[in-house]
C-alpha cells in the first residue's frame, strides 16, 4: 500500500542539479531535481546523520558534505566510502501543482519528469 503525501508545490522544487530539504510528519526528506526528474531520498546520511540536502548533486548522485560519500538518488546506495549503508528512497508523484511522496514504500523510487 502506498499512501502519497504532499511535500511541496512544483514551484517550490529546487533548481535542476540541486536538492532541498523538507520535513513531512517529522520525516526529513530531500527532494533532488536532476536530469529533468525529481527524486526523494531520506535527508539523513546513513554514515553520521547529517542532512544530505546540503550536499552537491552531480548527475544521479548526491554527495554528503561531511565526509564525501555519494549516494545514487535512484537506489539510495552509496557509491563510495565511508558510508556503507543505503539511505531510503521514496516514490515521487507529481499531481497538478503538488509534489507527493510515499513514505510507506522505500527503495522503489519512481522518478517523474518535470517540465521546466
Cis-peptide into 82, omega within 30 deg:
yes
What DSSP line would sit under 37-76, residue for residue? EEEEEESS-TTT---GGGSEEETTEEE-TTT--EEETTT-
Angle in degrees, CA 46, 6, 51, rounded to 5: 25
* Residue showing cell 546540503: 54
96 contact partners, CB below 8 Å, separation of at least 6: none
Task: Show the binding pattern over residues 30-59: x = contacts ligand FES (CB under 6 A), - = does not.
Answer: ---------------x-xx-x---------
If binding is defined by CB under 6 A, does position 82 make contact with ligand FES? yes
If binding is defined by CB under 6 A, does position 7 make contact with ligand FES? no
Using CB under 6 A as the binding criterion, the count of chain residues that bind ligand FES stands at: 10
Output the smallest distance, CB 84 to ligand FES, in A.
Answer: 10
Output the smallest distance, CB 60 to ligand FES, in A.
Answer: 18
If binding is defined by CB under 6 A, does position 110 make contact with ligand FES? no
Q: Which residues bind ligand FES (CB under 6 A)?
A: 45, 47-48, 50, 64, 66-67, 69, 82-83
Amino acid at each position: 500500500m502506498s499512501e502519497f503525501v504532499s511535500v511541496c508545490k512544483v514551484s517550490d522544487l529546487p533548481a535542476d542539479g540541486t536538492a532541498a530539504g523538507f520535513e513531512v510528519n517529522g520525516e526529513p526528506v530531500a527532494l533532488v531535481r536532476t536530469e529533468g526528474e525529481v527524486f526523494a531520498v531520506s535527508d539523513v546520511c546513513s554514515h553520521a546523520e547529517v542532512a544530505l540536502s546540503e550536499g552537491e548533486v552531480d548527475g544521479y548522485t548526491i554527495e554528503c558534505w561531511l565526509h564525501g560519500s555519494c549516494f545514487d538518488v535512484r537506489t539510495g546506495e552509496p557509491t563510495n566510502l565511508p558510508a556503507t549503508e543505503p539511505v531510503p528512497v521514496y516514490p515521487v508523484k507529481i499531481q497538478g501543482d503538488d509534489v507527493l511522496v510515499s513514505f510507506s514504500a522505500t527503495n522503489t523510487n519512481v522518478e517523474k519528469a518535470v517540465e521546466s
